[in-house]
């Protein structure tokens, strides 16, 4: 198995400029019509300095980070994240990750069988912005044998 898939391997960071458009588009795409994700005036009325990114957009960006790294045959099996500091327009979200498990392992509560020769890689992911830690979590990705030998 490649060194990049070994426990302790660091994934290269990904920096994502967070624009007002990204925040609003993510909220619309995830059908989250809460005004704090698209209306700056209403967000300020509720105590926020501006609109802020929703958890589903963050979840999608974490998934993108992992699949961009592991390639088109990677299958996200589990994404578990927790939000911290809010992310506002003008922030840069810096995602980083580290492999914490790499083996054929069953996911908790999973009933379906693994495809033969697939490996499950578990990655601890963090994302920071200028206010601190925006997201922490773990992602489990399935990699077919052929993807691990490229």
pTM of the model: 0.86
Mean predicted confidence (pLDDT) in 97-117? 64
pLDDT band at 112 (very low <50, low <70, confident <90, very high): low
Structure tokens at 101: 């498990």
pLDDT band at 14 (very low <50, low <70, confident <90, very high): very high
Q: What confidence tens digit (pLDDT) does each residue in 33-75 have?
A: 999 999 999 999 999 999 999 999 999 999 999 999 999 999 9
Contacts of 137 (CB under 8 A, 6+ apart): 62, 79, 80, 81, 82, 124, 125
CA atoms within 13 A on the CB side of 10: 6
Give the pLDDT score at 108: 46
CA distances from 78 to 28, 37, 95 (A): 23, 25, 17
pLDDT band at 106 (very low <50, low <70, confident <90, very high): very low
């Amino acid at each position: 198995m490649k060194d990049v898939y070994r426990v302790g391997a660091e994934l290269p960071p990904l920096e994502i400029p967070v624009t007002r458009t990204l925040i609003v588009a993510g909220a619309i795409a995830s059908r989250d019509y809460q005004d704090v994700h698209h209306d700056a005036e209403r967000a300020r009325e509720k105590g926020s300095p501006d609109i802020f990114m929703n958890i589903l957009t963050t979840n999608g960006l974490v998934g993108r980070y992992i699949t961009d790294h592991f390639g088109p045959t990677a299958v996200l099996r589990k994404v578990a994240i927790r939000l911290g500091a809010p992310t506002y327009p003008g922030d840069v979200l810096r995602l980083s990750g580290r492999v914490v498990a790499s083996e054929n392992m069953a996911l908790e509560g999973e009933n379906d069988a693994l495809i033969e020769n697939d490996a499950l890689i578990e990655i601890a992911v963090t994302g920071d912005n200028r206010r601190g830690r925006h997201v922490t979590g773990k992602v489990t990705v399935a990699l077919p044998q052929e993807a691990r030998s490229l």
